[in-house]
Structure 1
Amino acid sequence: MTTLIHPSVDRGIQKGASDFAGGTLRCSCAHDPVEVRVDNQVLFNHACGCTKCWKPANALFSVVGVVPREKVAVTSHGEKLKVVDESALIQRHACSACGTHLYGRIENKDHAFYGLDFIHSELSNESGWDGPGFAAFVSSVIESGTPPSAMADIRQTLRDKGLEPYDCLSPALMDVLAAHSAKAKGTYREA
């Protein structure tokens, strides 16, 4: 049995072009799509099993990464964008017509990831985006209906595709969160 993760993972993960400087994300609307220009390569791109991130039809995981907030600009049909859940930490801006999430933004200036917007680079037709480098919140796919008995196969499929599975973020991102917290508490030390 083949475990399908996400189209961009199932087809083979692409390495980003070293000189790639971004592209335009488009929602799924056939007419008057929302367009968002991103002038940066995606960073920390990963397969995400959480139940909040947007996934294409029949995908078990989303593929999401971050870019600097100032590198994101809505260029067409921004009037169609609505925040999915205003109480969520990440304010996910989705097209009100087709439901596609174009970008997510953290408005809490005290959060470690403030200044970074979350994007789905698969919404761009340009090639050169960096593919995912790890899998996060893997166990969360159980919350979306995946039987726990399938988890060993899912984790093995992720590893076989070159994505280390984590039930939180990658160690590098967890270190960023912990360092931010230590700085806020006054316990942070440089090596």
Structure 2
Amino acid sequence: MSSTHSTTALSWRKLYLSRAKLKASSRTSALLSGFAMVALVEINMDDKTPTVLLILFSICTTLLVSVHLLALMISTCILPHIEAVSNVHNVNAVKESPHEKMECFIFMAWSFSTGFGIILFLAEITIICWVQFINLSKEAAIVSTAIVVPLLVLFIAFAAFFYKKLISHKYENYNRDLEDLEHEFNQLQNHSAIDHTNTSQGIQLV
């Protein structure tokens, strides 16, 4: 009974975590893709802008919008089914949620929105600064790049550190669950051995 209760609690925790990830992904993707579209429409360009910058800007903007729209589509498709189950006040309703079967897609949406998408967003800011300032002040474009690059390195370092700690935390939880299961198994074995001994003694007395 205790093992079944622990498994059900773990499934509910995964469900709530998946729901939180999808909500964060949908909000972040909608915001950043909207910004990219506004930047694409409102940015000022002239004939003096180098072709290389225009190509980089078009590639980065297309990738940024596509990645975030993909994350938004995944979140929009999966989230309603998880929300429907999470609002049901039944312990066994968690089995009806698709969060475990769709775990790879949830991870994809989360990674695209908060990982790859933010890196593209920082690159987009840098390219926009170059497109806007290269004909006015090349020093301003260089300064903006010098500010964004350390932030990008810091972001990647934080992401690596975060996922390392997260994996370590999951590994410790799995070890703790295995130890609990092993302890329960040993207790069942001891009870079985005691019951068997008592039964054998009862037969001998008879």
TM-score, length-normalised on structure 2?
0.23
TM-score, length-normalised on structure 1?
0.24
Larger-Rg structure:
2
User: As a proportion of its length, which structure holds more strand?
Assistant: 1
User: As a proportion of its length, which structure holds more helix?
Assistant: 2
